[in-house]
Structure 1
């Protein structure tokens, strides 16, 4: 399956509440740019991770790369946790039908658009050359953009639980995180959903109130940071190829697999927390810096488009043979140019479509900017 070799991260919601992480509110929704900075940083890491996979380490060498491991320990879980946190207003403040309709329109329309671009390029360029056999259209749609589907499914499940259980819904959401994680389902992208869904629930539960966060978290964060940092470092050292969800499928069938799945969840949770705190502190120190604001405003508010574009590009690279004899300097140069090109193309597309309502919704997933 395609998704065994792919890891994509993505953040989706737009308006956010203030959380005290060095926020700079703007507009009537008091948008907290610290979350946009976190999203922008994570999408950069997503692109870097795929450059490591597709350019620097072609083949299977990336599984043992400390750089690849450092990114993949937390970038998907943290993206999903932020998604759950920022989705709370839509989950709680809108009807089931309206919230699901809006989320489907926001996520699935641009996904279908970029999937159409992907298939058109495959048919026009790679099929005639013989480098592509067959269509496999459905696998492209689900596998290449799996995080879109995992995020939408997580939103749908949590919204359904909130609508059904009401007063007990918060407890049920917490229980569902564990239940989904241990479900022995390995069909298609199910393992990836089971891996990321608990982090969506965690982010949502942490968003509910200051009182709830106080009950869940210690008053002095420093008391929590040291054991979390130690846990993240220990998990990093113990992490292996079989710890990745793409290889263990988050499936427990014996003692060894149970250890790997537990290591995966524990390491991801600890690393995600440490990464978010580091990113939040970076924003506090550099929020007035042009580079930081570029990451927050230009990249952080365009992560859906960046995710879809880079997913399309790297899927197409599966059909290209290159770089077998390149030295490391050439690989780094090509990786750098490709990464910059993805960002430039995405920002150019945003600039072109931002004033066209229907086109902006289809291509980018957002309404035109004022």
Structure 2
């Protein structure tokens, strides 16, 4: 995730702090929220396929996380874009607008599509090489099968761990070329997106993932444009939102219903945003730290987890009590090794560092 740079806000619930018109202060509640989201992502990536026998608790945990963690990330992306109004052109001259559109597409493609496909190819190369040495999850029979999964039949994409970048590019185009010129269409896009969450779409060109999460991005835009309203609602009803989220999340464990899953994802938005605002107001350093390294962690966490897991299996499998140790070690590897990678890249190759910051 790559929101615009934003500076510290005053020390009240961060969601309640609204900068003056035209200001672009750093939203500490959003940075903290990203930290919460990325920790959930890493925990969910510890096991990519079969959970070891006797550890159904992790499967329940992962299932719960996957109900809301990516919808929440999409909400945050839309929120920042809606709040910042980035890349909006107020010029009336048609040629200027065309140039602005071209620059917008080029910059977003460079910032999102390039790292998406680059990491997809890196993951393919890594799987092909390391599968000859250590255990590797989700392998394919040939390079052609890998490439087909990356570009076309994306249900078996090797880059599913970074598909967000592809979706964010598509959403950014919709924002620039639909929402900006026709702002009144935004509520209709939200409603359409909510309907699409309940429709099965074929996994071609990541269409299923893009359409399934679009509503949360558009909700984020709408609320980002109304940050003051969101802050007021969280201040008055934040704990109620948390309680509702907890109830729905518990119900979803017993009732496997798509509508309940959607309700959980929607309830997670105010609940987690409220939690992030409270943590930011309390100057919590943990989630704020991870929030500021979100992009690096997002890009590298599965690679780091996979390598640590693969080499660890050469020593001891994760059956029995060893799995508890693996959960801790792999979570830490997925969180801190990407931070180390980013620091090294920033020092050695600054031009490449912008893709992981």
TM-score normalised by L of structure 2: 0.75
TM-score by length of 1: 0.72
Cα contact 1:69–1:236 (8 A) shared by 2: no
Structure 2 portions without partners, runs of 5+? 90-99, 150-156
Question: Cα gap change, 1:175/1:342 in structure 2, threshold over 3 Å: closer, same or farther?
Answer: closer
In structure 2, distance between residues paired with 1:213 and 1:67: 29
Provide the residue aligned with 2:169 in structure 1. Answer: 152
Q: Indicate the residue corresponding to 1:256 in structure 2.
A: none
Which deviates the most, 139-148 or 153-162? 139-148
Distance 1:69 1:275, change over 3 A: farther
Q: Which of 139, 142, 146 is equivalent to 1:137?
A: 146
**Structure 1 residue 41: Cα displacement:** 1.9
Matched, 1:190 2:182: no
After TM superposition, list the pairs within 5 Å mapping 1:286-297 onto structure 2: 287=283, 292-297=284-289
How many Å apart are 1:134 and its aligned residue?
1.8
Whether 1:360 and 2:353 are equivalent positions in the alignment is yes
- C-alpha distance in 1 between matches for 2:50 and 2:200: 34
Choose from 256, 262, 266 the match for 1:265.
Answer: 262
Alignment of 1:340-351 (within 5 A): 340-351=332-343
Match of 1:125 among 127, 130, 141: 130
- C-alpha contact (below 8 Å) 2:42/2:335 kept by paired residues: no
> Do 2:32 and 2:279's aligned partners in 1 also have CA atoms closer than 8 Å?
no
Instruction: Write out aligned runs for 1:30-109 (5 A).
Output: 30-51=25-46, 53-54=47-48, 57-58=51-52, 65-88=59-82, 89=84, 93-94=88-89, 95-109=100-114
Whether the 8 Å contact between 1:38 and 1:276 is mirrored in structure 2 is yes
Q: Which runs of 5+ in 1 are unaligned?
A: 1-10, 244-259
- 1: CA distance between counterparts of 2:263 and 2:312? 37
Q: How many pairs are equivalent?
A: 324
Aligned residue for 1:239, secondary structure, equals helix
CA displacement at 1:211 relative to structure 2: 7.0
CA 1:357–1:65: 2 relative to 1, 3 Å: closer
Aligned to 2:269, the other structure's residue is in SS state helix
8 Å contact kept, 2:87–2:104: no
Please state whether the residue corresponding to 1:354 is helix, strand or coil: helix
1:203 has 2:192 as partner:
no
Equivalent residue for 1:13, pick from 3, 12, 18: 3
Residue 253 of structure 1 is matched in structure 2 by none
Cα RMSD after superposing both structures? 3.8
Cα 1:37–1:154, aligned 2, differ >3 Å: closer, same or farther? same
8 Å CA contact 1:47, 1:310 repeated in 2: yes
Kindly provide the CA deviation profile for residues 292-349 of structure 1, in whole angstroms up to 9, marking residues without a partner as x: 335324x212212211112334567998995766222x21212222222233321222
Give the C-alpha shift of residue 276 in structure 1. 2.0
**How far, CA to CA, are the matches of 1:344 and 1:219 in structure 2?**
31
Aligned counterpart in structure 2 of residue 22 of structure 1, from 11, 14, 24: 14
